[in-house]
Amino acid sequence: MTLEAVNRYLEKEHLGNVKGPEWNLWTDYYVSIVKNDPILEDELVNNNRSLAWFAKELNRRKQKQMIS
């Protein structure tokens, strides 16, 4: 989907628009991480988690891997 298509959908659902820099961050970095992880996808999409939560979760997982 394009940014314009996403914003049209969000407007239809009475939600706020996504700004260009945030869209670029998601498409360039986060999409590749989330699309292979159903738990992250569910939390972000269905439970409306913030980017701050996402960053903390990625850091927590990275630390857990380093300890293991």
Q: What is the pLDDT of residue 33?
A: 83
Tell me the domain boundaries of the chain: 1-36, 38-68
Q: What is the pLDDT of residue 55?
A: 87
CA distances from 25 to 11, 50, 52 (A): 21, 14, 13
State pLDDT tens for residues 8-36: 988 998 888 989 998 898 888 888 888 88
Measure the CA–CA gap between 68 and 65, rounded to whole angstroms.
5
State pLDDT tens for residues 31-54: 888 888 888 888 887 888 888 898
Global pTM reads: 0.57
